[in-house]
Structure 1
Amino acid sequence: MILELADIRIHPGQNTAFDEAIARGLRDVISHAKGCQGYKVNKGIESPERYVLQIFWETLENHTVDFRQSEAFTQWRGIVGPFFAAPPVVEHFDLVVKSL
Structure 2
Amino acid sequence: MILELADIQIHKGQQAAFDEAIVRGLHEVISHAKGFCGFKVNKGIESPERYVLMIFWDTLENHTIDFRQSPAFAEWRGIVGSFFAAPPIVEHFDLLAKSS
Same structural fold, with TM-score higher than 0.5 when normalized by the shorter chain: yes
CA-to-partner distance for each residue in 1:7-46, whole Å, 9 max, x for gaps?
0000000000000000000000010000010001000000
Match of 2:49? Answer: 49
Q: What CA RMSD, in Å, does the superposition of the two structures yield over aligned residues?
A: 0.5
Name stretches of at least 5 consecutive residues in structure 1 with no aligned partner.
none
SS in 1 for 2:45: coil
Whole-angstrom CA distance in 1 between matches of 2:30 and 2:50: 20
Deviation at 1:71, TM superposition (A): 0.3
Match of 2:5? Answer: 5
Name stretches of at least 5 consecutive residues in structure 2 with no aligned partner.
none
Whole-angstrom CA distance in 2 between matches of 1:96 and 1:37: 18
Match of 2:71? Answer: 71
Deviation at 1:70, TM superposition (A): 0.2
Whole-angstrom CA distance in 2 between matches of 1:89 and 1:40: 16
Q: What is the TM-score when the length of structure 2 is the normalising length?
A: 0.99
Moved beyond 3 Å, runs of 4+: none
Q: What is the TM-score when the length of structure 1 is the normalising length?
A: 0.99
| Identity level (%) | 79
Give the alignment of 1:7-46 within 5 angstroms: 7-46=7-46
Paired residues, number: 100
Deviation at 1:91, TM superposition (A): 0.3
